[in-house]
Amino acid sequence: LIYHLPFGNIGFSHCVFPSQVCPNIITRSQWGAAAFIGSPSYLSLPVPYLFIHHTYQPSTPCTTFDQCASDMRSMQHYHQQTNGWSDIGYSFVAGSDGNLYEGRGWNWVGAHTYGYNSKGYGVSFIGDYTSTLPIKSAMDMVRYDFTSCAVNGGRLSSSYSLYGHRQATSTDCPGNSFYHEIQTWEHYQSYLP
Ligand SMILES: [Zn+2]
């Protein structure tokens, strides 16, 4: 029996500590990102907050890799050339094609939620969710897969708080319908310190 314990433990551990579930993340090079301008700042990990956004523009959800990648390039161009930012502002962007697109990624401070960029990730959904919701598969990808991946990877605090962008500043983001929805998600908090 003693000799069987290590084998038993392997199976048992696998059940208790499930392997990391991560979304399919499309890297910057895969979507054709331009280079970061300047020198990025490191995030101090794990971060305590997760902010949910919608892009508003593009207003139409992308449903293919080609369209989502094109949307990523357009947003990055706008954020860099019009806003004068170093890079696309979001940490990650959810397409409706089953993929999560890397923006500033796990390690770098973003430009998504004024006053809180160094305290959290900003994940945006491509589309305008004022009166409709993202498709369920895209929401589940962020609600479950992204958060478990981030927590298991030591990037997001296991006791993280989830907010809509509008809780941090004067904006409608992530849209009325979507903001109503995320208030039912795990870790949503009404109070933002
Ligand atoms: Zn926003």
**Boundaries of every domain in the chain:** 22-32+41-182
**pLDDT(5) > 60:** no
pLDDT recorded at residue 179: 98
Asked if residue 10 has pLDDT above 80, the reply is no
Q: Calculate the CA dihedral of residues 98, 180, 144, 189 and round it to 10 degrees.
A: 150
Which residues have beta carbons under 5 A from ligand 1 (an ion)? 53, 165, 173
Identify whether 174 is preceded by a cis peptide bond (ω within 30 of 0).
Answer: yes
Determine the distance separating the centroid of ligand 1 and the alpha carbon of 164, expressed in angstroms. 8
Q: What integer best gives the mean pLDDT of the chain?
A: 92
Supply the pLDDT for residue 19: 52
pLDDT value, residue 33: 98
Please give the share of the chain, as a percent, with pLDDT higher than 90: 89
Residue 17 Cα, ligand 1 centroid: separation in angstroms?
A: 34
Q: Where are the alpha helices (DSSP H) in 2-141?
A: 5-16, 28-31, 65-77, 136-140
How high is the pLDDT of residue 20? 63
pLDDT attached to residue 21: 85
* Other beta carbons less than 10 A from residue 136's beta carbon: 9
Find the 133 Cα to ligand 1 centroid distance in Å. Answer: 15
* Residue 156 to residue 166: CA distance in whole angstroms: 21
Does the pLDDT value for residue 9 go beyond 60? no
Distance, CA 132 to ligand 1 centroid (Å)?
16
Residue 127 has pLDDT above 70, yes or no: yes
Q: Which fold has domain 22-32+41-182?
A: Lysozyme-like (3.40.80)
Compute the distance from residue 162 Cα to the ligand 1 centre, in Å. 13
